[in-house]
Chains A and B, each alone.
Chain A
């Protein structure tokens, strides 16, 4: 018995060491920096400064919310469709969903620039038929498009996986008891896919709310998101303390939203994350 516990500890050790060094320690450092001034003394100065970033924070939350909502609305039907096809169709569709993830994130975002820019693919087409050019790049819409494009696989996959787990006889039973397609969706499929929706929302919302690259490249720096603010504090302003306190508040917000989301999932039984 002792031997087994020792063995399992040994197996878990590399990960525990890894997470201690690269997760726990950085987190402590973030908290540490957020409450210190450059000379290392305790201060609430940087926390107080957060007030200036209130609107940035709100806009970030709003963008992430809109992107998450669009991802959800697009993903749900796709996941439903996928889960009701033959094995081969499912595999092919899964491949198509995953395919963009094989490409580098930067390249993916850059290619959107060439598509959306004023002399890009879409505007060239529109000009040719006398409808353009239309300002596409450097708009809030472009930023949200970038978020949706980059994060949608993380919404599709968890929803698809819970839908696959809904037993076919359950749907037949609903059929048998007189419910048409809409009723089946409302009473069985939707409630039973809540855990997938919750983990999808978490997996899209969290990176979307903290992104900085997408807003810089597709938003043209016009819309400053909280991720941009953090990045500039660390990379250009060299103000680690303010950067850390911004990160801290973002982390707190994310934790709160995850807590609320998981509450949802708990009620309906089962959480995925």
Chain B
């Protein structure tokens, strides 16, 4: 059966806290040795999903399967999964060695074997010589490594990571992304990674699960998720998107802004109302007379590699990324090639996203790393 491929399977899981439903009839299969990321904004249920697998949350209904066996009633300490917690949760009353050895010591593994395995772990996370150090004296990145070693030493089949990089600064985070990915490959185990950072999700994952309101919005490879978003929520949450109202006149022909555009999509009903996604980097800026659409530049932001330009076309604010410099109040034309257009069916999220007139507000809510848990 196909189910044999799944190391973890969640079937019709529902979870509520204080009458607020966090997961709704949630089903997800996680394949062995896969790097899966649960991605979504604060309160979308991604952490609850992880905690359900770990055994800290028992679902109101539905089944949790591990290696094909139902483990609903199995307590956390008996599950063959380990977790890396958001703020590491290292034991402050123990040094680095004892923290890492904890899981083995509890299981009464012989001292000699513990010593060997701890030193193997320290080597893996590049912390040789730190055995006797107090965990509170370590930097964030070092604490992170101890947390990884402490979990991985138990040789779990599945490692659960709850926003493990959220507390690190940008550069350290990038390094740890690569390192985690390497560890996952070399150990050959399943990683289930929770994040609200879409770049992180795209950079690390084999499979990305985009969630919102306790429901899976889309499952796919990072490329699928970015290039073929299934609805306006996914298109908006992953990267930047201009999302427009359109009508699919027939296969390969879509109408928006009162104009027909050739596209590569088909299989829609004739004259079906659709959402049209156009990524900011796929739009070419040309002189107004040769553009398919014309508008006025309302804002220019220098981002380093490129400029982010907001262009007002008949009241709709487009975001366009370009390496050429333009100025506010310039009149410009846009050229949209067929492969720049992605068509989606209408969904409950249609009309909520995609216009950049309220650009700054939107950025605030999406880029606040602490919004999930608050201070603690």
Contacts and interface: CB of A to CB of B under 8 A. Distances in A.
Interface of A: 167, 169-170, 172-180, 183, 187-188, 191-192, 268-269
B72 to A, nearest CB: 16
Contacts, number: 66
Given A169-B87, A187-B102, A176 B93 contact: no
21 contacts: A167-B89, A169-B85, A170-B89, A170-B92, A172-B54, A172-B83, A173-B83, A174-B102, A176-B54, A176-B83, A177-B82, A177-B150, A177-B151, A178-B77, A178-B107, A179-B77, A187-B91, A187-B102, A188-B93, A269-B92, A269-B93
Contacts of A172: 54, 56, 76, 83, 85, 89
Nearest first, the 10 A-B pairs at minimum CB distance are A177-B103, A169-B89, A173-B89, A175-B76, A179-B106, A191-B93, A176-B83, A175-B77, A169-B85, A178-B77
B154 A178 contact: yes
A187 B86 CA distance: 22
Interface of B: 54-56, 75-78, 81-83, 85-87, 89-93, 102-103, 106-107, 150-151, 154, 376
Contact of B106 (A169, A177, A191, A269): A177
Nearest to A189: B93
B106 A187 contact: yes
A265 to B, nearest CB: 12
A179 B150 CA distance: 13
B157 to A, nearest CB: 14
Contacts of B90: 173
Given A175-B76, A177-B82, 10 more contacts: A172-B83, A172-B85, A174-B102, A175-B75, A176-B54, A177-B103, A177-B150, A178-B78, A192-B93, A269-B92
Contact of B103 (A167, A178, A188): A178
A85 to B, nearest CB: 16
Contacts of A170: 89, 91-92
Given A169-B87, A187-B102, A187-B106, A176 B77 contact: yes
B290 to A, nearest CB: 59
A150 B150 CA distance: 45
Nearest to B162: A169
Nearest to A181: B77
Nearest to A190: B93
Contacts of B154: 177-178
